[in-house]
Amino acid sequence: MNRFVLFLVLFPILAFGVRRPTAAEQKALTHGAEACVVFRVIDVRDRPVEKALVEGNFWNDTRKGNPYSMNTDSNGVCVVTRTCSDDYHFAVTKEGYYRTKGRKVLWNPNFISIKDGKWQPYGATNTVVLKRKVNPVAMCVAWNEARSSLPDEDCLIGYDMKTADWVMPWGKGKTADFFIRYVRQVGTNRLEIKSTLTIAFTNVLDGVYRMKTDDSGSAMRTVYKADTNAVYARTLAFVYDRTAEKINTDTYLTPDDYLVLRTRTECDGHGNLKKANYAKIVGKLAITRENKLKIRFYFNPNENDPNLEADTTKNLLNPRDLGFPP
Amino acid sequence: MLGFPTPPTSCDLLDFFPVWLDLKGALDAFPAQSGVTFRFRSSGLRFVYTALTKNEAGKYLREECAVCGPAFNQNAHGAPTFAPAEGSGSQVVELSEAFLSLIKADGDKGVLLVECSSPLASLELEIVDPYGDPIASRRLHLVVSGVEDMYSWVNLRSSGGRVTSVGEPANAPNFDSNGKNVFFLHGFDVDADTARAWNAEMFKRLWWSGSKARFWGMTWEGDAGSSLNYQANAANAFAVTSNFCAWVGGVTGEKIVLAHSLGNMVVSAAIQDYGLSVSKYFMLNAAVAAECYDSSVFNDAADGNHMLHDEWAGYGSNTWCSTWHRLFSAPDGRAGLTWKDRFPNVLPVAYNYYSSGDEIFEIWNAMPTAFSGGIFHLERYAWQKQELFKGRGIPGGTTWAGWGFLRTAPESTYEESILYPDAAAANSVPVTNIVESPVFRKNPPEMFTNSVPSATVNALLAKGLPALSAAAGITDFGTEVMSDWDMNTMGKPDGGVWGRSTSQTYEDRWLHSDLKDMAYFYVYKLFDRIVNEGGLE
């Protein structure tokens, strides 16, 4: 019986899309209602982080909203109570950790979000994970998108991450960390496109694997270290296939993707890995319509060091190109 | 030492320029005990001391450099200025001992930041003996004028505003011009005076980022009515397009166009409808539906669609105004009543500089009301509101088609009885009926003939056809479609500095008009990129 009633309640919502706010909710959305949030700040091992600075603003029907700024206690907790009419944002920082930030919307179409004039669930815990700064190293970083012109289509061309350029004779690069091949076909409509970008590796133990970035809101969005035991693929192809009206396939990197690379490998006489460099390509690997390579990468120049945590105060490629996340 | 002690703010720094005093040789020749004085004779100028070297003289515009002020320990914005005492003609002010000592220790130092406050400004450096007799002097040749004398101006308004001036600007910095032309068109709700401020800022910022192109400031009537009249001004944008095209098209030389917000409707239409040829087109926070450029983002899903008015939930998409065009084929003019693929010709030349933090284009997770965002922040979700309010007959909306419902009474009386009483009734209507008696509001009458003039189509789009996509100004189209750049994630200075803190209402987002409202100190990367990508240097 209860399940039947639940079904009847849910069905109108599902059949007719997102529900409208109730009168009480609408009043709260317009003029605000009291919200209580319990911030619980932990590290990646679930240990509380004391004296973390939690600051932000609760959106409100005023010019300045409702800002807040407080430190967590020994349990990593702080409680914020403010009037709020829409959403709140937060940023958590502490020396020795990467900042984590985020935003939460208080109105939820899936349940009644106001009770007794207060946002529900009142006192909900917002668990925020702070990631430590472990051992950031200076890297060759192309953050503002190294944009070398693609010398040619449909052939493999080597790219050197240490110089952010194609290898000779196409550029000034000396050692190919990977090879790129790009093919694009355009139909009668300029949005009828099929393109394939292949990244390939020639050294036996060079390769790449693909990951999703951390979505917790931390500035540290990738793994700290490359997995030296992972399976590194020798080729990886990205496909974009669409008509004027619809995208059929798009496997190119999104801002939430990254690649981990192992390059410049050398083996001993038994085929064991002797030397390698590690790198990551984050969120962008594409060819523009002007045929330029658009790429954001971090290359660790230290041999046999799988560390992928970049020192954000240094850029061995271009000292003036900073502002990148770790 | 009197004058103008008020420190410049970070927004004022654009108006200062660095001057290096090469005085080491003279200071070696005339040490302190010689009694010789080094001084300025000047008028209409104020100065800021710095400990910058000549090679880093421009650093103050982009970085905190706490080497300014009398003690060389303050940032440029915030360091007190100094100037001769006010009086008729030029007056003198001695350079400080501390400043001269800096130069004596390092001849590369000796940089002052200078601002002009009078077209008659003059500056002469004097070295005088203990008796006040001149030993040597050197005058800095200055040509000073208001910033508007440095660029051309085109007024597309029907009345009011600064008069069009397209001759060679009186004081254009064209000594090393590259022969290119860069045009800027502002957005919605910018009146004639504010347009002048917009263009002045854009000119200065481009110039400081190295642009050597001739700048053309433009203004158009995108502020008709009140701030709630977006749709009517979108119609104005179409109306002014031919005039815009004539002006820009008539200029010889390479043309690069920049437009902000609704100004992009003008430029996009000029390229699409009038064949305006530009080498590059920078869309800045474009207030144009994304589906105009890429129809794959057109969203006619019935579920989870935040561009669907909630009173239309349950109504099949074939009953919506935004999809009505599918019932017709060319040459029936009604087939063109859609934003989909409205501006495809823009793609080869466009650069979409958007902001993922744009508050105007932010989409709320449900149906907003006119007051969503609060009365002090009605701008929040504005894009979503203005599209959803089309046809609703409420403030911020229109009475044309859109998400209004067809009533049984004529439009002039608009009685409360809806023709199709509910979604089930509407969904069961044969297609042929919907052609003549659509589910949506049947207004204006011109929409319901098979021959709709193009000017009417544009007005209908602006006022009566809701977009079913977000604005281009918050959309990443993807590299294969258009060159995109997110100002919010890529455009801020290194180290996370920003002119708005995390604790503020909009935290550290790059907002809709921050390219102008935020000091150049924070947004210089955007202008560097425009200059670089646009080939303006």
Average pLDDT over residues A37-56: 97
pLDDT in tens, B351-397: 999 999 999 999 998 889 888 888 889 899 999 999 999 999 998 99
DSSP E strands, B422-517:
483-486
Average pLDDT over residues A60-82: 93
B-proximal residues of A, 13-32, CB under 8 Å? 15-21, 26, 29-30
Q: What is the pLDDT of residue B7?
A: 63
Shortest Cα–Cα distance, B257 to chain A (Å):
18
Q: What is the pLDDT of residue A241?
A: 97
The per-residue pLDDT of chain B, averaged, comes to 91
What is the interface pTM, i.e. ipTM, of the complex? 0.91
* B375/A67 touch (CB, cutoff 8 Å), yes or no: no
Residue A112 pLDDT exceeds 60: yes
* A69/B503 touch (CB, cutoff 8 Å), yes or no: yes
Q: What is the pLDDT of residue A15?
A: 41
Q: What is the pLDDT of residue B4?
A: 38
Matching residue, tokens 């004539």: B246
- In this structure, how many other beta carbons lie within 10 angstroms of the beta carbon of residue B287? 30
Q: What is the pLDDT of residue B360?
A: 97
Task: Please give, one letter per residue, the 3-state secondary structure of B185-204.
Answer: ECCCCCCHHHHHHHHHHHHH
Domain range list for chain B: 10-140, 149-298+339-361+471-537, 305-334+372-470
Phi and psi based region of residue B426 (left: phi greater than 0; alpha: psi -120 to 50; beta: remaining):
alpha
Q: What is the pLDDT of residue B366?
A: 85
Q: What is the pLDDT of residue B3?
A: 33
Average pLDDT over residues B8-28: 88
Q: What is the pLDDT of residue B306?
A: 94
Of A55, A59, A294, the CB nearest to B502: A55
Shortest Cα–Cα distance, B240 to chain A (Å):
28
A-proximal residues of B, 418-457, CB under 8 Å? none
Confidence of residue A1 (pLDDT cuts 50, 70, 90): very low
pLDDT in tens, A217-257: 999 999 999 999 999 999 999 999 999 999 999 999 999 99
Superfamily of domain B149-298+339-361+471-537: Alpha/Beta hydrolase fold, catalytic domain (3.40.50.1820)
Q: Which residues of A287-323 are buried (b: 16+ CB within 10 A; e: fewer)?
A: bbbeebbbbbbbbbbeeeebbbbbebeebebeeeebb
Percent of chain A clearing pLDDT 90 (strictly above): 79
Q: What is the pLDDT of residue A17?
A: 53
Q: What is the pLDDT of residue B495?
A: 75
Residue of A53, A61, A254 to mutate, testing the B interface (most B Cβ within 10 Å of its Cβ): A61
Average pLDDT over residues B347-352: 97
Greater pLDDT, B54 or A146: B54
pLDDT in tens, A91-111: 999 999 999 999 999 998 888
Q: What is the pLDDT of residue A18?
A: 65
Residue B431, helix vs strand vs coil: helix
Confidence of residue B109 (pLDDT cuts 50, 70, 90): very high
Query: CA-to-CA distance for B475 and B456, rounded, in angstroms?
Result: 28
Query: CA-to-CA distance for A113 and A143, rounded, in angstroms?
Result: 41
Residue A13 pLDDT exceeds 50: no
Residues of A in contact with B347 (CB under 8 A): 190-191
Average pLDDT over residues B116-140: 91
Q: What is the pLDDT of residue A143?
A: 84
Confidence of residue A2 (pLDDT cuts 50, 70, 90): very low
B-proximal residues of A, 186-225, CB under 8 Å? 189-191, 193, 195
Q: What is the pLDDT of residue A236?
A: 97
Residue A12 pLDDT exceeds 50: no
Give residue A308's Cα distance to chain centre: 14
By the 8 A CB rule, do B228 and B197 touch?
no
Strand partners, B355: none
Amino acid at the residue A78: C
Of B305, B313, B480, the CB nearest to A16: B313
Contacts of B475 (CB under 8 A, 6+ apart): B290, B297, B352, B354, B469, B484
Tell me which residue of A59, A308, A35, A54 sits closest to A161, measured CA to CA. Answer: A308
Of A18, A55, A195, the CB nearest to B366: A18
Residue B86 pLDDT exceeds 80: no
pLDDT in tens, B280-337: 999 999 999 999 999 999 999 998 899 999 999 999 999 999 999 999 998 999 999 9
Sheet containing A193-200: order of strands:
A165-166, A157-160, A178-186, A193-200, A235-242, A247-250
Q: What is the pLDDT of residue A16?
A: 45
Residue of chain A with shortest Cα separation from B314: A16
pLDDT in tens, B452-495: 988 899 999 999 999 999 999 999 999 999 999 999 999 998 87
* B369/A57 touch (CB, cutoff 8 Å), yes or no: no
Residue B527 pLDDT exceeds 90: yes
pLDDT in tens, B411-458: 777 666 788 889 999 999 998 888 888 999 999 989 999 899 888 999
Confidence of residue B1 (pLDDT cuts 50, 70, 90): very low
Percent of chain B clearing pLDDT 70 (strictly above): 96
Average pLDDT over residues A164-170: 94
Q: What is the pLDDT of residue B176?
A: 67
Confidence of residue B88 (pLDDT cuts 50, 70, 90): low
Matching residue, tokens 């560390």: A307
Q: What is the pLDDT of residue A9?
A: 40
pTM for this entry:
0.93
Residue B77 pLDDT exceeds 70: yes
Confidence of residue B126 (pLDDT cuts 50, 70, 90): very high
Q: What is the pLDDT of residue A145?
A: 65
Query: CA-to-CA distance for B309 and B466, rounded, in angstroms?
Result: 10
Average pLDDT over residues A153-161: 94
Average pLDDT over residues A185-195: 95
Q: What is the pLDDT of residue B87?
A: 66
A-proximal residues of B, 308-337, CB under 8 Å? 308, 310, 313-314
Average pLDDT over residues A265-287: 94
Q: What is the pLDDT of residue A82?
A: 94
Q: Return the half-sphere exposure (C-beta side, CA atoms, 13 A cut-off) of residue B134.
A: 10
- Structure-block tokens of residue A206: 């060079």
Q: What is the pLDDT of residue A4?
A: 39
Q: What is the dihedral of CA B192, B198, B201, B203, to 10 degrees?
A: -80
Q: Is A55 on the interface with B (CB under 8 A)?
A: yes
pLDDT in tens, A305-324: 999 999 999 999 999 888 89
Confidence of residue B350 (pLDDT cuts 50, 70, 90): very high
CA distance from start to end of chain B: 40
Domains and CATH numbers, chain A: 17-132 (2.60.130.10), 137-315 (no CATH)
Residue B99 pLDDT exceeds 60: yes
